[in-house]
Structures are given as structure tokens and as C-alpha cells.
């Protein structure tokens, strides 16, 4: 049995801004189900949602901070969660990365340096928890200093760094390195230094014993300048220690047969409940309740990565077609405003919800016919897998995990039964529009559409295979 300390900045259902939380809330559960001892370490933010009993475990002094570690359990699991309680740094309103006005935390480097220092203390069994992990599994730049700090320790646990997104790097001026009081020997070309600045991501990539990312295609893409965000050289240098493991989904939480957010449950054997959800979605959003009209859904952080600009450019043509569009998202203010303007211009055709809403996300997955993900890049992407599971056919760009999970509906793939969606390659509004038109043509052929839906619903996107691959990876180097 391996003992794994899983360090993350968010974990569903306790705190979530995106897919990292989904993975941190479901992969540890799947690993525990494989008989391993996995424990989560995450900051106790003010916004954290705790539903299980909590108890005090210990109090330690780390750098200049008094820290309490409190223990709870990840809901619906046996996984222990250790909360880093340091009110001075984490007890302000906002999410893990921005304050309540949406501004990035001015002290974000201090926040995640403390998380890393606490992780190192726990990893070295110096936090009075009486537990010595074999491996510390780090996730994204927020945990990038953990492998660096542990590299300074004798007889330390092994470190794995998982890249969920290369575009967020945690880069700060050199002066920040000094004020954080980090050991000077970490500075340098082979250390945390990145073009004269401090880079948390580079630290993780450089010091971890092993690196992985969340799809096989993204593992290749990030070794090129188009996707490597300046770190492609380091990644190709370390390619013998870099693998891709596709994310799974929490197939109990995202299950159309049992999902309690839905107006009706349904399965691949009986899709009739899907129409009930479609009607409910149309009704709640003020769209005409029209069973035959295709509904296109999009749920996303509204950022450039997700190809929102491509979608916006298509909209003026899409509204001329007999379809309805439903968008749920938040992020970039100009994307939010343009979407809201279009919704005001075309009521009854486009419905836009700006904000974050878990219940609506589930209803859109169930009620829409087609799901759009025109991402410029997508390390894995979870929404296309949720869509496949809910019989909502995805239209995606061929990149990262989208390329690894969606098989384009072409004559051959339709014939051999492997098609489950629509895929385009070129980053252009024209390519997206053409692909949506292709999807609408198949939608007009119900038996063929049903075949696509069922292929998607019968696919296995659970953690079964991928959690096993993580376990093999843990076993490989410790």
C-alpha cells in the first residue's frame, strides 16, 4: 500500500473554480478505492464548504506563520482532508485566486508558499501527524514549490507534479523570491528562476521526480512552442520523466440515471427523460419550449483558452438558424458583456447566465442536444466527458484531451460505431460554424443522432483505468 499526500488548491465539493477541483475531489477517492492511503492537503479558505465533522490535529509554526492543521473527510468518501488553517492568509472573502471584487490576491505568492511549506513539513512527518507519505502528489503551479523545498531534504518522499494547465504559471519578480525567504540555493537556471523571475510552475517541473499531465495529446503538445508557454525546452529535456494520463470523471456525481439536479433521470436504454430536461431548461431560461429545436449548450470559464471569441464570431450567423443557444459562464468581463448584449438582442434564441451555478451546469448537460467546446487548447477538459455521459453530443476542437475523447462523426466512424461527436482542427470561426452545421445535419436524422448519443453514453470515462495508471506511476518511482 502506498501513502500519498495529495496537495491541491481546490477540491470539489469543498471549494471549486474549475476542473482541477473535479479531479482533486475524485481521483483521491478512486485511488483510495484501490486500497491506497491517500490524504488531501488544502488551504482552509473562508469560502470553503465543510459538511463533515472537523477536528483539531496540530499547531505548527511555519516561517512567520502560526498554522493549525484541522482534519475532516472528503464528502462521500473515506479520504482524510487536512486543512491548512492560517486565518491571516486564507480567511478573507473571495475564491482561492481572486478577492471578492475579482482581483487576484495581492499576496497570492505568500499564500501558496505557505501551502508548500506546510506540505513539506507534513511530507517530512514534522507536523505531529504521525504519518510519513511515500509520495507527494502536487497539482499545478500553486504547489510548484513543494518539490523544490523537498529537494533540500535527506530521505524525503518521492514527488509527482501533475500539470493541469501550462498557461497559469505563478510568475513573480525576483524581489518576491527574496521577500518570501526561500533558500537562495533554489535560485538559478536549474532552479525556480525563469527569465529573471520566480516561477512556481518551473519549480514544480524542474524539481519533481516525475511529471505528468492530464491527457496523452497535451503531454506531446506542451513540448512544442505553441503550447509550452515558454517551458517547452525544459519539458522536452525531461520527456523521459513525462507522461500523459487522461482524467476520469466522478461517474456517481455525473450520472444521468441518478443526478438529483435533473428534472428527470434517464439512461442509454431509455432517453425519454432527456426531453423532460430539455423542456425544463427552455422553460427556466425563457426560451420557447420546442422539443424539435436543437439546443446548443456551452458551460465554461469565459477566457481565451476556451475559444469564446470564435463562438462569439459565429453567433451572428447561428441566430439566423432554427436553434437555441444556452451559455453558462463567467470570467473575462468583455466576453460576459458581449454575450449578455447578444442575449438581449435575440431573446428566445440565446439565453446567457453569467456566474457560477452547479445546478444549472447539470441541467444544461442533460437538457442540451449539442455541447460546444471550441478550445484553443485543452489539457483534458471534463465537460465534453460529462456531455458524452449525458447523451449531449460534443462539438470540439482537436486539441489535448478533446482530441483524446471525442471521435469525429465521419462516414467510416459512423459505420464502425466509434463516432461520438464532431471535431474540427482549424482555429477559426468558420471551422466551428461548419462543424456545427455538420452536427445539425446529423441531428436532423434521428436514428443516426441516437446512435451518436448512445455511443457517447456507453463510453467508459470513469477513473477505473486512469486511477490504476496513477497507481502504476506511484509504484514505478517509489
| Interface residue list for ligand GLC (CB under 6 A) | 18-20, 23, 164-165, 214, 247, 378-382, 401
Q: With respect to ligand GLC, which residue has the nearer C-beta, 26 or 277?
A: 26
Cell triple for residue 459? 463510453
Q: With respect to ligand ADP, which residue has the nearer C-beta, 284 or 451?
A: 284
Using CB under 6 A as the binding rule, whether residue 429 contacts ligand ADP is answered as no
Which listed residue (131, 346, 356, 443) binds ligand ADP by CB under 6 A? 356
Per DSSP, the three-state class of 21 is: helix
Which listed residue (28, 294, 329, 367) binds ligand ADP by CB under 6 A? 329
Per DSSP, the three-state class of 428 is: coil
| CB contact at 8 A, 401 and 218 | yes
| CB contact at 8 A, 94 and 47 | yes
Which listed residue (32, 122, 123, 299) binds ligand ADP by CB under 6 A? 299
Task: Report the alpha-carbon distance of residue 196 to residue 422 in Å, rounded.
Answer: 43
| Closest separation in Å from C-beta 235 to ligand ADP | 19
Q: With respect to ligand GLC, which residue has the nearer C-beta, 13 or 448?
A: 13
Task: Report the alpha-carbon distance of residue 439 to residue 308 in Å, rounded.
Answer: 19
Cell triple for residue 223? 513540448
| Closest separation in Å from C-beta 222 to ligand GLC | 12
Q: With respect to ligand ADP, which residue has the nearer C-beta, 308 or 478?
A: 308
Task: Report the alpha-carbon distance of residue 119 to residue 133 in Å, rounded.
Answer: 11
Give the total of residues touching ligand ADP (CB under 6 A). 18
Residue 329 touches which of ligand ADP, ligand GLC, none (Cβ within 5-8 Å per kind): ligand ADP
Q: With respect to ligand ADP, which residue has the nearer C-beta, 37 or 357?
A: 357
Residue 214 touches which of ligand ADP, ligand GLC, none (Cβ within 5-8 Å per kind): ligand GLC
Kindly identify the residues of this chain, within the stretch 367-386, that bind ligand ADP according to CB under 6 A. Answer: 380-383
Residue 261 touches which of ligand ADP, ligand GLC, none (Cβ within 5-8 Å per kind): none
Residue 330 touches which of ligand ADP, ligand GLC, none (Cβ within 5-8 Å per kind): ligand ADP
Per DSSP, the three-state class of 28 is: helix
Q: Using the structure block, give the residue that is written with the C-alpha cell 502506498.
A: 2
Q: With respect to ligand ADP, which residue has the nearer C-beta, 314 or 353?
A: 353
* Percent helix / strand / coil, the chain, rounded to 5: 40, 20, 40
| Closest separation in Å from C-beta 375 to ligand GLC | 8
Cell triple for residue 396? 470540439
Q: Which is nearest to 5 in space by CA: 108, 150, 102, 106?
A: 150
| Closest separation in Å from C-beta 136 to ligand GLC | 18
Q: With respect to ligand GLC, which residue has the nearer C-beta, 381 or 456?
A: 381
Using CB under 6 A as the binding rule, whether residue 22 contacts ligand ADP is answered as yes
Beta strands in 44-154 (DSSP E): 55-62, 65-73, 80-85, 135-139
Beta strands in 216-265 (DSSP E): 242-244
Q: Which is nearest to 275 in space by CA: 288, 266, 284?
A: 266
- Nearest residue to the partner ligand ADP, using Cβ: 19
Q: Which is nearest to 372 in space by CA: 411, 326, 332?
A: 326
| Closest separation in Å from C-beta 142 to ligand ADP | 14
CA angle 37/39/41 to nearest 5° reads 165
Task: Report the alpha-carbon distance of residue 164 to residue 23 in Å, rounded.
Answer: 9
The torsion angles phi and psi of 62, rounded to 5 degrees, stand at: -125, 115
Using CB under 6 A as the binding rule, whether residue 96 contacts ligand ADP is answered as no
- Nearest residue to the partner ligand GLC, using Cβ: 19
| Closest separation in Å from C-beta 447 to ligand ADP | 30
Interface contacts to ligand ADP, rule CB under 6 A = 18-20, 22, 299-301, 328-330, 356-358, 361, 380-383
Amino acid at each position: 500500500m502506498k501513502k500519498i499526500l495529495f496537495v491541491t488548491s481546490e477540491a470539489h465539493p469543498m471549494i471549486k473554480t474549475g476542473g482541477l477541483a473535479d479531479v482533486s475531489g475524485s481521483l483521491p477517492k478512486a485511488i483510495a478505492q484501490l486500497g491506497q492511503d491517500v490524504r488531501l492537503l488544502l488551504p482552509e479558505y473562508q469560502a470553503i464548504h465543510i459538511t463533515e465533522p472537523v477536528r483539531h490535529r496540530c499547531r505548527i509554526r511555519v516561517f512567520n506563520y502560526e498554522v493549525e492543521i484541522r482534519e475532516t473527510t472528503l464528502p462521500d468518501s473515506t479520504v482524510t482532508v487536512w486543512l491548512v488553517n492560517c486565518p491571516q492568509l486564507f480567511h478573507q472573502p473571495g475564491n482561492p485566486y481572486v478577492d471578492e471584487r475579482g482581483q487576484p490576491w495581492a499576496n497570492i505568492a505568500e499564500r501558496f508558499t505557505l501551502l508548500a511549506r506546510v506540505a513539506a513539513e507534513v511530507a517530512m512527518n514534522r507536523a505531529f501527524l504521525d504519518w510519513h507519505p511515500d509520495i507527494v502528489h502536487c497539482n499545478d503551479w500553486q504547489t510548484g514549490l513543494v518539490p523544490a523545498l523537498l529537494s533540500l531534504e535527506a530521505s524525503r518522499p518521492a514527488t509527482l507534479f501533475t500539470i493541469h494547465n501550462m498557461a497559469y504559471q505563478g510568475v513573480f519578480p525576483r524581489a518576491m523570491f527574496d521577500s518570501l525567504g526561500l533558500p537562495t540555493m533554489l535560485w538559478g537556471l536549474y532552479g525556480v528562476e525563469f527569465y529573471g523571475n520566480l516561477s512556481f510552475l518551473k519549480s514544480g517541473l524542474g524539481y519533481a521526480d516525475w511529471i505528468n499531465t492530464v491527457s496523452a495529446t497535451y503531454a506531446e503538445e506542451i513540448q512544442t512552442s505553441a503550447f509550452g508557454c515558454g517551458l517547452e525546452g525544459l519539458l522536452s529535456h525531461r520527456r523521459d520523466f513525462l507522461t500523459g494520463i487522461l482524467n476520469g470523471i466522478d461517474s456517481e456525481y455525473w450520472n444521468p440515471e441518478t443526478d438529483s439536479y435533473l428534472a428527470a433521470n434517464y439512461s442509454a436504454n431509455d432517453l425519454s427523460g432527456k426531453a423532460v430536461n430539455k423542456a425544463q431548461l427552455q422553460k427556466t431560461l425563457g426560451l420557447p419550449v420546442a422539443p424539435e429545436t436543437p439546443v446548443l449548450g456551452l458551460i465554461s470559464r469565459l477566457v481565451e483558452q476556451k475559444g469564446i471569441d470564435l463562438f462569439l464570431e459565429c453567433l451572428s450567423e447561428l441566430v439566423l438558424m432554427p436553434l437555441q443557444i444556452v451559455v453558462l459562464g463567467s470570467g473575462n468581463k468583455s466576453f460576459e458583456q458581449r454575450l449578455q448584449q447578444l442575449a438581449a438582442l435575440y431573446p428566445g434564441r440565446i439565453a446567457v447566465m453569467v456566474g457560477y451555478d452547479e445546478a444549472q451546469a447539470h441541467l444544461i448537460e442533460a437538457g442540451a442536444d449539442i455541447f460546444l467546446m471550441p478550445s484553443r487548447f485543452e489539457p483534458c477538459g471534463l465537460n465534453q466527458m460529462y456531455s458524452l455521459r449525458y447523451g449531449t453530443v460534443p462539438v470540439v476542437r482537436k486539441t489535448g484531451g478533446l482530441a483524446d475523447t471525442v471521435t469525429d462523426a465521419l462516414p467510416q466512424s459512423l459505420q464502425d460505431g466509434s463516432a461520438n461527436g464532431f471535431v474540427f482542427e482549424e482555429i477559426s470561426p468558420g471551422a466551428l460554424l461548419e462543424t456545427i452545421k455538420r452536427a445539425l445535419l446529423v441531428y436532423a436524422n434521428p436514428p443516426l443522432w441516437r446512435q451518436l448519443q448512445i455511443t457517447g453514453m456507453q463510453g467508459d470515462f470513469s477513473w477505473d483505468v486512469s486511477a490504476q495508471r496513477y497507481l502504476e506511476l506511484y509504484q514505478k518511482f517509489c
